[in-house]
Amino acid sequence: MGNSQRKDADSTASPAVKNPDWMSSIPDGKYISELSIPGTHDSLSLYGGPFIQCQSWKLCSQYEAGIRFVDVRCRHFHNSLPIHHGVKYQYYFFDNVLDDTFHFLQQHPKETILMRVKEEYKAANNTEKFYETVFCYIKEVGPTQFWLHHRIPTLGQVRGKIIILQDYSGPTMGIPYESFCIADKYYLPTLFDMAQKWNSVEENLNSAQYGVCNKIYLTFCTGASWGAYPNAVADRINYRLYNYLESKGKKKIRWGIIALDFPGAELVQLIIYSN
């Protein structure tokens, strides 16, 4: 991909188009599961070279572009939560993620952020369980700022809040991630396996289009291996996704959450315009 900015894929530092208030035009009564939501995979993975890096926009820029699902990977280390992608520390902590997110939500109070929280890499030197440390961070901000229930809310119930998508064991602290209909064929041996990847993407998007409205669909358009780096996968899959969505014209279609690496700003807008 190089350092380029296209409609479908962007490896520069700033999105070409911003849409920070798109949820404000959606009725309060709409359930989160009924929406088409642009998202990022491994949202804080900005460092570590081509095999590790998945994004070029910082978190605040992702939100400004219209991203509303983020994938946050925390290592449990000394009862704190540094952000990791595998072994690679991303120079960020979970409290930085929450600070940036609530700063955005204070400026754009009709938006909501769906935040997958997942344990990443090896835990070390902890006296607490992972869920206890997560809740310490939440308690410090104030639990009323979050949606911590297992049921799917309407947009009106969660404007200005973070919806925790709980991808870790312990007491209920959000919507269980395992309850989603997920396509995440993340291992691609080589770039020649792209057709299989796209088939899994298209299949889940079709399921979201026609599936039951009270189920959250999540489609990862991402993948990697030593034979296919994340930017090379994004270069190809984002292009196919852009053309696929554009071919639907101006139809209002529920796609669920679409998680991307190196998204192009206009691809993000295509997902938003489906609502």
Are the C-beta atoms of residues 25 and 78 closer than 8 Å to each other?
no
Rounded Cα distance, 245 and 274, in Å:
9
Instruction: Give tens-digit pLDDT for 15-30.
Output: 999 999 999 999 999 9
Q: How far is CA 50 from CA 104, 162, 209, 227, 231, in A?
A: 29, 30, 33, 12, 7
Instruction: Give tens-digit pLDDT for 37-54.
Output: 999 999 999 999 999 999
Instruction: Give tens-digit pLDDT for 53-102.
Output: 999 999 999 999 999 999 999 999 999 999 999 999 999 999 999 999 99
Neighbour tally for 158: CB within 10 Å: 21
Rounded Cα distance, 16 and 263, in Å:
11
User: What's the confidence (pLDDT) of residue 213?
Assistant: 87
Read off the pTM. 0.98
Nearest to 120 by CA among 222, 223, 43, 40: 43
User: What's the confidence (pLDDT) of residue 2?
Assistant: 64
Domain boundaries, the chain: 22-273
For 22-273, CATH gives: 3.20.20.190
Nearest to 181 by CA among 149, 213, 159: 213
Give me the residue label for tokens 């899959």. 237
Beta-bridge mates of residue 35: none
Instruction: Give tens-digit pLDDT for 213-227.
Output: 899 999 999 999 999
User: What's the confidence (pLDDT) of residue 1?
Assistant: 62
User: What's the confidence (pLDDT) of residue 250?
Assistant: 86
- Dig out the tokens for 265 from the structure: 């700003």
Residue 81's contacts (CB-CB under 8 Å, 6 or more residues apart) are: 74, 75, 93, 94, 95, 133, 134, 137
* Residues 145-154, mean pLDDT to the nearest whole number: 98
Rounded Cα distance, 262 and 55, in Å:
5
Handedness of CA 30, 145, 270, 51 (dihedral sign): negative
CB burial of residue 183 (10 Å; 0-12, 13-18, 19+): buried
User: What's the confidence (pLDDT) of residue 3?
Assistant: 84
Terminal CA-to-CA distance of the chain, rounded, Å? 29
Are the C-beta atoms of residues 84 and 121 closer than 8 Å to each other?
yes
